[in-house]
A and B are shown apart, each in its own frame.
Chain A
Amino acid sequence: MKARTPFTRPVIYALLGLASLAFLTPFLWLISSSLKPLEQAMALPPTLLPHAYYAAIDGSRSEVTIDFTLQRGGIVADATAGEQAGSRVFLTPAQALARAKELQGAHRVSTGWVHVTEKRDAAEAGNGNPRWDIVPPQAIDSTIRFRWKNYPEALASLGGSAESSDGSGSVSFWVFLGNTLIVCLLGVVGTVFSNAIIAYGFARLKWRGRDAFFALTLATLMVPFPVLMVPLYGVFRELHWIGTLLPLWVPAFFGSAFNIFLMRQFFLSIPEELSEAARIDGSSEWRIFWRIVLPLSKPVLAVAALFHFLYAWNDFMGPFLYLTRKETFTLSIALQNYQSQNGGVQWHYLMAASTVTILPVVVLFFFAQKTFIQGIATTGTKG
């Protein structure tokens, strides 16, 4: 087979390689940041892998954070008297000479050396300031160490702590996950059954008004959501559903124009003879639908189920409109809420929590890749 693009093969590979790099880098950056301690996530130049650094401070080897590289040399010493008594100071040689009497353990450091601070667990943070020193770069050694702790810590902080500023209590990550799964799974059940039943009525039955009704159904595909937003909110308010998960999954049990269209197309392709034979045997329409058409339609049911799951998992606007209390939040709105409450400083936690919301979608994709690709291809080209 000949290449069908106006390029030669090495050029194509080069372009594909570049494009993959561009598409893949954000993912790598996401995962890499999610496994780093904060100061490494924010360090420039960035490193791909998170490290643990070790250096000797006051003669004892300890884990350290790398703060910055020295732009000029000087003297590091411990002050024993004066205002800075008891703390370590960095001075120019002239300053050090002038204060020689109140200094102890002075040593010379040069340009290019690295300021390091002893790294402490949160538990030890109480006992005074962490010690620091300035050491030559070759005195620092490092190992690759992933900070897996970011994940449990991020998920724990996603729900907010009990003493959060808005006074609301803390909610477990599992509550958010549970809410999301309720919305997704009930929505999928509703989507599959309601649209299959409705599409059967449009595809396999002949009745007066059917075609006009179907045309009306297709016309509703044109309506943008902002047109529906305000009255829909009113409907759910009348039903006292605001603040509950109901507006997010109940409508799925009443069909959607796009899925009706999708399933109708598929049902039309099932030979009519199968239904005729069953009718002659005295089967009811419901029985024909349930026993003959539905079992043959698994591919299209899978496509509808998959895309509804994806839609519900990713949806932000719906939860944002209808959910008011933290206990009812889905993952996407919990993530946004966490970001806005914490001002976006905890990048490593934010990336870990984002990875957790992305992961199920990616796993789902790898298990159902064929359904995904075929689903998009058919809905796209026949739509």
Chain B
Amino acid sequence: MTSRERRQLFAGIGFTSLWIVGLSAFTAYPVLASLYYSFCDYSILKEPVWCGLENYSQLFTDDLFWLSLRNTLFYAGLSVPLGTIVSLSLALLLNSDVRGKPFFRVIFYLPSIVPVVASSMLWLWILNGQVGLLNWIIAPVLNAFGATPPAWLVDPTWAKPALIIMSLWGTGNAMIIYLAGLQNVPKELYEAAEIDGASGLQRFRHVTLPMLAPVVYFNVIMALIGSLQVFTQAFIMSAAAGGGTGTGTDGFPARSTLFYTMHLFATAFYDLRMGYASAMAYVLFILIAVLTWSATKLSRERMSHVQ
């Protein structure tokens, strides 16, 4: 190494030294430590004791683990596609030639920056079974069909859908990204399609969607990763709907909102089974990695077909 190279190396390390410390202490060490813990019997009070694959093999027979996984996949499986439809539709509406765009954009975006604790409180109130606004609005419609509105957060069947409805209110962030993506679609493509006699629907199907595919891919992946880790709103609303009977991590009502991260959190910090919780964390890590990888593969294939 020449002295010039050495000087450059020192400068590089100098500028990134804060990150070398930060990466080691707050990411690299925790990633490796929790991998190690996942093979150990460990509570924070005692030193970890190696137990091999026991945590992982226990997971397979743990009903709560499977239940929390099913709940989470149900939540992600509905909130991600519905959120994509809502945010993409809003972006398409706003991308057309209408007045008052800034006004609409603000209204659709604002809910996504509301602190999650505050929006949980608000939705607890809106989704209240007796005096909530939502049931007051939908009751006349449902009554016409002989049905009554559900009690949402205290009904095991409707607690997850309630959380999904709430998540749709916060899709403004994705909408802004879609809007930016739509504005990047070259105008010439639309003009060419029009000359070829494409209808509005055909232009959308054959110009807009293919050009937007990478943005859709990005948003779906981000939403998927986020929804697989759903915690705060579910925790707050479950604890509140339980009326102080539970801890919030028991997934009230009837474990219907026991989500993966909640179960993991309770295992680690209430039961102090941190080795087992670390194994759960790694299973989630692998699940996210596999889903991201397959989505990437799928979208590459689809996108190469289009182009």
Q: Which A residues contact B (CB, under 8 angstroms)?
A: 1-7, 9, 12-13, 15-16, 19-20, 23-27, 29-30, 33, 42-46, 194, 197-198, 200-202, 205-210, 213, 216-217, 220, 222-235, 237, 251, 253-257, 260, 285, 289, 310, 313-314, 316-317, 321, 331-333, 335-336, 339-340, 343-344, 347, 350-351, 353-355, 357-358, 361-362, 365, 369, 372-373, 376-378, 380-381, 383
Contacts and interface: CB of A to CB of B under 8 A. Distances in A.
B271 interface: no
Given A2-B190, A224-B285, A343-B243, A316 B117 contact: yes
B236 interface: yes
Contacts of B14: 201
B173 interface: yes
Contacts of B180: 376-378, 380-381
A376 B122 contact: no
A182 B117 CA distance: 19
B177 A317 contact: no
Nearest to A203: B15
A210 B21 CA distance: 16
B190 A227 contact: no
A5 B44 contact: no
Contacts of A26: 111, 122-123, 126, 169
A197 B15 CA distance: 6
B18 A44 contact: no
Contacts of B231: 317
A226 B229 contact: yes
A4 B97 CA distance: 8
Given A5-B95, A29-B133, A362-B110, A227 B124 contact: no
Given A4-B95, A194-B18, A226 B125 contact: no
B201 interface: yes
Given A19-B108, A335-B117, A44 B136 contact: yes
Nearest to A204: B15
Given A3-B96, A227-B281, A235-B26, A381 B184 contact: yes
B239 interface: yes
B37 A231 contact: yes
A253 B26 CA distance: 11
B243 A197 contact: no
- Max count, chain B CB within 10 A of own CB: residue among A43, A216, A224, A226: A226
Contacts, number: 311
Given A224-B284, A230-B268, A23 B111 contact: yes
B120 to A, nearest CB: 8
B148 interface: no
A207 B13 contact: yes
Q: Is the interface of B mostly helix, strand, loop or mixed?
A: helix
Given A206-B8, A230-B268, A198 B26 contact: no
A285 B93 contact: no
Interface stretch (B28-36, B75-83, B298-306): B28-36
A30 B133 CA distance: 11
Nearest to B135: A44
Contacts of B144: none
Nearest to B25: A235
A-B interface, 9 closest residue pairs, ranked by CB to CB distance from nearest: A254-B22, A201-B15, A207-B12, A380-B177, A377-B180, A231-B33, A6-B200, A231-B30, A255-B19
B243 A207 contact: no
Interface of B: 1, 5, 8-9, 11-16, 18-19, 21-23, 25-31, 33-34, 37, 44, 89-90, 92-98, 104-111, 113-118, 120-126, 131, 133, 136, 169, 172-173, 176-177, 179-182, 184, 190, 194, 199-201, 203-204, 208, 215, 218-219, 225, 228-229, 231-232, 236, 239-240, 243-244, 248, 261, 264-265, 268-269, 274, 277-278, 280-282, 284-285, 288-289, 292
Given A9-B98, A25-B133, A228 B12 contact: no
Nearest to A289: B15
A30 B219 contact: no
B129 to A, nearest CB: 12
Contacts of B116: 314, 316, 332
Contacts of A226: 229, 261, 264-265, 280-281, 284
A373 B176 contact: yes
Contacts of B172: 23
B111 A254 contact: no
B270 to A, nearest CB: 12
- Max count, chain B CB within 10 A of own CB: residue among A19, A213, A227, A369: A227
Nearest to B170: A23
Contacts of B215: 380-381
A223 B94 CA distance: 34
Given A19-B90, A233-B44, A381 B177 contact: yes
5 contacts: A5-B204, A26-B169, A43-B131, A209-B12, A365-B113
Contacts of A30: 122, 125
A19 B86 CA distance: 10
Nearest to B178: A380
Contacts of B184: 381
B44 to A, nearest CB: 6
Given A25-B133, A235-B26, A351-B125, A380 B19 contact: no
B166 to A, nearest CB: 9
Contacts of B228: 224
B136 A224 contact: no
Contact of B121 (A1, A216, A339): A339
A358 B22 CA distance: 31
Given A2-B97, A12-B98, A380-B215, A45 B208 contact: no
B46 to A, nearest CB: 12
A354 B122 contact: yes
A251 B26 contact: yes
Nearest to B247: A340
